[in-house]
Amino acid sequence: MDIVLKLSSYKEDWYVETPANSAIKAMARSFPAVLRVLFGRLCSTSPDEREHAAHAICDIASEEPEILSAEELEDALLQLKSIGDAEAYERLAKALSKVKAVEHKPQYRYGF
């Protein structure tokens, strides 16, 4: 997982970063730490990194909105608003609407 997270960096070339992003999004349900990393990237000083993380979270919200927390997204939106990142804010707002439309479910399916 560490290698895939490193390769999913917004600084990587698209042909490295794209499959790595697909892999981390696929692992999000089984490894909640992936979501922590993406939410952590929303606090970056780099607008490109924040936008990159917001895009990944929005993709997860499109496919598996039940694994995301509306409260955590709301907190991230406040953070993005406070620093004036309109692009990442807009993308996360779309994710939040998808998350609020479903019931939140535990990330671990087998009681872990």
pTM, entire model: 0.86
Average pLDDT, stretch 25-41?
91
The torsion angles phi and psi of 90, rounded to 5 degrees, stand at: -60, -45
Q: What is the pLDDT of residues 47-79, one digit of tens each?
A: 999 999 999 999 999 999 999 999 999 999 999
* Residue 106, in any domain of the structure: no
More confident residue, 18 or 1: 18
Domain count of the fold of the chain? 1
Q: Which tokens hold the place of 59?
A: 């993709």
Burial of 110 (C-beta count, 10 Å sphere; 0-12/13-18/19+)? exposed
* Residue 44, in any domain of the structure: yes
Start-to-end C-alpha separation, the chain: 18
How many Å separate Cα 91 from the centre of its chain?
Answer: 10
Is pLDDT of 90 > 60?
yes
* Residue 18, in any domain of the structure: yes
* Residue 96, in any domain of the structure: yes
Domain that holds residue 86: 2-100
Is pLDDT of 109 > 70?
no
* Residue 105, in any domain of the structure: no
* Residue 112, in any domain of the structure: no
> What local confidence, expressed as pLDDT, does residue 111 receive?
47
